[in-house]
Chain A
Amino acid sequence: MGMNYKNFIMSLLAAMSIFLFAGGCSKKKPVKIGFIGGITGRVADLGIEGRDGVILAVEQANRAGGINGREIMLIIKDDKQDPQTARNVVQELIDEDVSAIIGHMTSSMSMVGVPVINENKVLMISPTTSTNDLTGIDDYFFRVYPYSAQTSRILAEHIYKKMGHNTVFVVYDITNKAFTQSAYDYFKQAFEGYGGKIVGDLTFTSGPQVMFSDIAKQVKLKNPDCLYLLANAMDTAMLCQQLSKSEHNIQVVTSDWSATDEVIQYGGKSVEGMFFYHSIDKFSDSPKYLEFKKDFIERFSSKPTFASIHSYDCARILITALKINQDPLLLPETIKSIKTFQGLQSQIEFDEYGDVIREHFPFRINNGIFESIK
């Protein structure tokens, strides 16, 4: 055995060191991203749809190598549409050292969460927060959803000028008051500015105890040209059903919030002709969107909604920014420096406050399906 014994042992030790070192090196720390939405309860559809959009984006990113070789760990929290719970779960995510948070899904919860993230300097990007109370503030809050003032102005113009309706009655759900109140206030301002008149308004708190027949009666009493309804899909369908039962044919105008397949399922013929401005184009032929839609259906067995699309865009924006600079403290600056991102359907451009101006797509329900109005 004319072997060099010393060299053999040294080679063995070197090989073991390399193996251990490589093994150690291959286990990089994951990048943590948080998601917060109301994913349980009656109005969990928005939260669930948003969550699923983020899950798809994260799974796709991890399959493609994560963020510079680091796996993305998604931590999902349920704010249960409750302010105290929202505050707690935001803090929980911050305590878990997340790089950023996607959420909340509703304006009322975002109003609670934003002070917490600002205090802790953690970026929060919301898919569907529209309240104007968070507009034009240089802080750690970003969103891909147009703020109420934009949508309300466009809607008011359309109702008054294009539809020719002069009087509007407004019904809105105050469980998401930050959104609905803000949307109503700006709508009223814009509509009256055009020369229209708000003949009445009514609030309700979403729940199984709501008597939509009573609301329908009150609307009928005022005899408006148009009903502007700010509620979720199920409540919208129920109110429209009651209006139809009382044979009150009235133009119903609503928001993104109720623009899902559920409103047609549960509204039936009573929602025919319902009009809304959508923040997404349901019939977009953008290749990216079509591929996303295919992947989403395959993954979740349901069609993506505006919540899913905006959440997916939020996740992609975060991932793109983190790939450029993984320092969470610098995320706001990184996003502002990039400024324009390619979303699933269109470009998303942030202003210096983290707000966006987005295109609005007019739709109505015709013959039981959504129809784009060009």
Chain B
Amino acid sequence: MKNKLSFKTYLVLSLILVSIIPIIAVGTLSLKYMTEKTTQNIETDNQLLANAVGWEIRGHFQQAKAVVEQLAIFLSGHDHDDDQISGLLTDTVDQFEYFESIYLLNSNGHIEKVGLPYNRISMAEEYIGLDMSHTDYYRQVNEFHKPTWSNAYLSHITGKLSLTLTVPVNDEILVTYFSIEHLADRIQQIQTGGNLIAMLVDTDGILIFHPDDTKSKEKISLRNLTPVQAGLAGNEGTYKYKWQQVEYIGSVAMIPDTGWLLIVSQTTKNAYASIRQMQKIFTAGIGIAAVIALLLAIALSTRLIEPLRELQASTRTIASGNYETQINSGPYFETEELASSFENMAEAVRMREQEREKLLKTLGEQNEELESIIYASSHDLRSPLVNIHGFSGELEEDCRIMIDMLKDVHIEPEYESQLKTILNEDIPSAIGFIKTSTSKLDALQRGLLKLCRLGREDVNISALNMNKLMDEVIDSMQHQVNQLNANVVVDELPGCYGDRDKINQVFSNLVDNALKYRNPDIKPEIKITGCIKDDRSVYKIADNGIGINPDYHTKVFDVFHQLNPDHKIGGEGLGLTIVKRILDKLEGSINIESEQKKGSVFSVSLPAVSNRTKICS
């Protein structure tokens, strides 16, 4: 009972769950919706910026490419002298600040003409004649014969990331070196403010542009990032990734002509700030709701349980015997019905209790009457029995006198034989039977009397030293033990509570039975042991006698039942009946383990003495 869940607790938990679960469900769905909505918004924002930046980059490249192509067309369509060409190249570099330098290579890949910013014009001679035929851009333009953009590389002049645009001009090649700085400036102008950052990545996955200028210069490879891998594989889209210990969400778009990637990102911290806010509100809401639900649940459950508690108190009163108690029905229909049922039950119990008491009284009176009858009968039967026994004795004596007298009297021979038979055999035999029967009747009557007296005698309970008591029992039977050469062993026995005399009687009867119902072919062995189990002292009396058929294990306790009535072992068949009656009165019990010819073990259980109790001597 102690381990069962309390109804009140169950009620409280149920009420909390009923209130919390809908909140969790609704909140979870709301969060999911918000997350999807936010992700969509991020994609939209990213895409808008990507389009703007993409157009800007494209425009930038197209403008630069247009200038170079114009230059190429101009150079190819006219005959110009060297100075004109050099002047034109230098003017172009000066005019468009995103050009670092321009070179015109001959068909062998050697630099023929140079265009440099005016502050470096003195270096022009240094470059003329240089062999650039091994460069990637020279090889590519020779292969594809069309304007070709390079990937980003570290400029040996500026130390910054640059790129080249190579344009074929008849059998010559125009190579223009671009600084990415101006491109970066344009991108910066577009994405002022906000949390979005735009990054430019070339076809090798190298970071060309980042709002943090330092990162732009470090030639960082981003090939391991998911959006870069996706973009290089031709897949635009929005992806989450982690870079330099920070988590981002970014959209990747491809820049036409160059094949570069534009990645517009923001940290997931910024992106999902609103969702995190909502999560916090949601969690706080759950917490507050749980507290409120708990308080309300406790209050409500207390109110609901109160009628049950009152009902419980009322039933206790009824159980204690007060059947007239008024049961409080409480404010609810169900508790009212329950109270009514309890009242009906109390009335039924009261009536049955009355009947029981009446029956008990009648039974008690009848038992008393029966015991009185038995007692009176036993007592009153005693005189007639004594008379029968006495007069049987006188008859026996008279027979002997008549036999003596007949020795001196002449009897007709035809009557002498018959007379001798009557006097010597018939009459003594009849008297013998009468005497035996009266003795038996006397023993039975004594036994019944003893049985009746048991019901009337007072019981004196005390703590008993069982080893001492057992010694007394054995001593009283010592003669019998010696005569039968029996071996009686008594172990150390625990104490018990009981009436000394009656317990003595119990064990005397059991030891007596063990000696009486011995196996005549072997030496009788009787062992008495004891132990404590569950606050009970259990004593076992084991013998190696003739044993008891299991079919008779309960019958042996019946009045006048004898195990072997034909073997004339003796006794009235009341020994075990008396043992059981005594044990019933002393809160004891007896149990038999036995089979025919295999001995018997009688187990007697009595209340054990606690260790602190002093054993009475």
- Point out residues on A near B: beta carbons under 8 Å: 1-6, 39-45, 48, 52, 55, 59, 73, 78, 208-209, 211-213, 234, 238, 241-242, 244-245, 264-270, 298-302, 368
Contacts and interface: CB of A to CB of B under 8 A. Distances in A.
B218 A48 contact: yes
Closest 6 CB pairs of A and B: A268-B131, A301-B204, A42-B159, A234-B156, A40-B217, A41-B159
B385 to A, nearest CB: 66
Contacts of A302: 204
Given A43-B159, A55-B221, 19 more contacts: A2-B5, A3-B5, A4-B3, A39-B219, A48-B154, A73-B245, A208-B156, A212-B126, A265-B134, A266-B135, A266-B156, A268-B132, A269-B131, A269-B133, A298-B223, A300-B204, A300-B221, A301-B204, A302-B204
B120 A301 contact: no
A3 B158 CA distance: 78
A44 B130 CA distance: 23
A241 B155 CA distance: 18
Interface of B: 3-6, 9-10, 109, 120, 123, 125-126, 129-136, 154-159, 204-206, 214, 217-219, 221, 223-224, 245
B262 to A, nearest CB: 18
A174 to B, nearest CB: 18
Given A5-B9, A48-B219, A245-B130, A301 B205 contact: yes
18 contacts: A1-B4, A1-B10, A2-B3, A42-B159, A44-B159, A44-B217, A45-B154, A48-B219, A208-B120, A208-B157, A208-B158, A213-B125, A238-B130, A264-B134, A299-B221, A299-B224, A301-B205, A302-B204
A310 B78 CA distance: 54
Contacts of B125: 213
A59 B224 contact: yes
A302 B223 CA distance: 11
A48 B152 CA distance: 14
A330 B401 CA distance: 133
A265 B3 contact: no
A208 B158 CA distance: 7
A47 B522 CA distance: 110
Contacts of B131: 241, 244, 267-270
Contacts of B5: 1-3, 5
Contacts of B6: 5
Among B126, B129, B214, max chain A CB count under 10 A is at B126
Contacts of A59: 224
Contacts of B132: 266, 268
A73 B9 CA distance: 51
A270 B109 CA distance: 13
A238 B130 CA distance: 8
Contacts of B123: 208-209, 211
A256 to B, nearest CB: 18
A42 B159 CA distance: 4
A211 B122 CA distance: 10
Contacts of B135: 265-266
A42 B217 CA distance: 10
Given A40-B217, A44-B159, A301-B223, A245 B136 contact: no
A235 B223 CA distance: 30
A42 B156 CA distance: 5
A343 B156 CA distance: 32
Contacts of B136: 265
Contacts of B156: 42, 208, 234, 266
Given A73-B245, A266-B132, A269-B133, A211 B159 contact: no
A44 B3 contact: no
A271 to B, nearest CB: 9
A174 B123 CA distance: 22
A78 B158 contact: no
Contact of B134 (A45, A234, A244, A267): A267
A166 to B, nearest CB: 30
A208 B101 CA distance: 13
Nearest to B132: A268
Given A44-B154, A78-B214, A208-B157, A245 B129 contact: yes
Nearest to A246: B129
A43 B159 CA distance: 7
Contacts of B206: 301
Among B132, B217, B219, max chain A CB count under 10 A is at B219
A55 B217 CA distance: 17
A268 B110 CA distance: 10
Contacts of A6: 3
Given A44-B159, A208-B157, A244-B131, A39 B224 contact: no
Nearest to B4: A2
A81 B205 CA distance: 26
Nearest to B13: A5
Contact of A268 (B134, B155, B245): B134
A3 B4 CA distance: 6
A39 B218 CA distance: 6
A161 B462 CA distance: 124
B130 A78 contact: no
A142 B133 CA distance: 41
Contacts of A270: 131
A1 B158 CA distance: 81
B142 to A, nearest CB: 14
A277 B205 CA distance: 32
B13 to A, nearest CB: 9
A208 B119 CA distance: 12
B343 to A, nearest CB: 28
A225 B157 CA distance: 31
Nearest to B216: A40
A303 to B, nearest CB: 12
B135 to A, nearest CB: 5
B585 to A, nearest CB: 40
A122 to B, nearest CB: 22
